[in-house]
Amino acid sequence: MTDEEYDDLLLDAIRCAQGAGEIIMSYFRKKDIGIQAKHGNESDIVTAADKASERYVIDFIHGKYPEHSILSEESGRENHDSGYLWVIDPLDGTTNFSVGLPNFSVSIGIKQNGETVVGVVYAPYLGELFHAVKGGGAYLNGERIFTGAKQRLDQCVVATGFPVDKDVNPDNNLDNVSRVLPLVRGMRRLGSAAIDISYVAAGFLDAYWEMNLHEWDVCAGLLIADEAGAKHDNFRGDRNISVVVGSPHVEEELFAILSHDRHV
């Protein structure tokens, strides 16, 4: 693909994210947003806004790129023959959204032959649009962003999240929280993995980790973080995607703490 073709894909991913964001906003802080528990788990929910946002993005892809494959949180996977795969979280941060908290986003990554080449994370309430194209740097609302460069963990503000099976599985990240909390300046739980990772890219957070995530949570964000100079690793092999991302020195220190032998 040429640079111009990547730019066209990026513009389409941005259009999709903005259109989906507008749809989501039409449900925000409204009375009946159709909250449903997935698989009977009240910690894992979907709303009418998730579904409407996803429908909009998938219809756009079907219309313009019918040969591209799709992986989207609520509808699953649709395979076609081209090497392109759109990885979509139509509403990341549904729990925040469901109670009227403003941290939520649309996350759209595009992979070509397994490599992420475009990433867009759009937080419609906050008016923050992050984007990156492979090799072209990372941007927030059109301005280039770079990850932080801190060397001392005790000066860092970090974020994490908790797995949706926390009600039945004691392997719920609290062991990591107790290890990291005393070592850092501050710890946050903001509630949208895609925004957390994008905030690491912009240097608003020094690092973020979470286990048991899925491809749609991290695909776009990790390209944005990589392009901003961040480092990331999978810190566990047994819990889906367990990502730690941060400015390089901080990420290495956290990775060492998170990949310890556990006894839960």
> Which stretches of the chain bind ligand IPD, using CB under 6 A?
89, 92-95, 161, 164, 191-193, 210, 213, 217
Q: Which does 164 bind (CB under 5 to 8 A by kind): ligand IPD, Ca ion, none?
A: ligand IPD
Q: Which does 253 bind (CB under 5 to 8 A by kind): ligand IPD, Ca ion, none?
A: none
Residues in the chain: 264
Which residue has its beta carbon closest to ligand IPD? 161
Q: Report, in Å, the least distance between residue 214 CB and ligand IPD.
A: 7
Q: Report, in Å, the least distance between residue 93 CB and Ca ion.
A: 7
- Pick the closer one to ligand IPD by CB: 156 or 211: 211
Q: Report, in Å, the least distance between residue 164 CB and Ca ion.
A: 10
Q: Report, in Å, the least distance between residue 98 CB and ligand IPD.
A: 9
Cα(20)–Cα(225) distance, integer angstroms: 22
Furthest C-alpha separation in the chain = 51
Contact between residue 36 and residue 43 where contact means Cβ atoms under 8 Å apart: no
Q: Report, in Å, the least distance between residue 53 CB and Ca ion.
A: 9
The residue within the footprint of Ca ion, chosen from 54, 73, 196, 253 (CB under 5 A), is: 73
Q: Where are the alpha helices (DSSP H) in 40-127?
A: 48-64, 94-99
Helix (H) or strand (E) holding 226: helix 215-227
Residue 92 interacting with Ca ion (CB under 5 A): yes
- Pick the closer one to ligand IPD by CB: 94 or 116: 94
How many chain residues bind Ca ion (CB under 5 A)? 5
Q: Which stretch binds Ca ion (CB under 5 A): 84-92, 113-121, 158-166, 181-189?
A: 84-92
Contact between residue 159 and residue 188 where contact means Cβ atoms under 8 Å apart: yes
119: β partners = 109, 132
241: β partners = 213
Contact between residue 232 and residue 251 where contact means Cβ atoms under 8 Å apart: yes
Cα(144)–Cα(138) distance, integer angstroms: 6
Residue 89 interacting with Ca ion (CB under 5 A): yes
Helix (H) or strand (E) holding 207: strand 207-213
Tokens describing residue 45:
């929910």
Cα(100)–Cα(47) distance, integer angstroms: 13
- Pick the closer one to Ca ion by CB: 92 or 196: 92
Residue 217 interacting with Ca ion (CB under 5 A): yes
Q: Report, in Å, the least distance between residue 204 CB and ligand IPD.
A: 15
Footprint on this chain of Ca ion (rule: CB under 5 A)? 73, 89, 91-92, 217
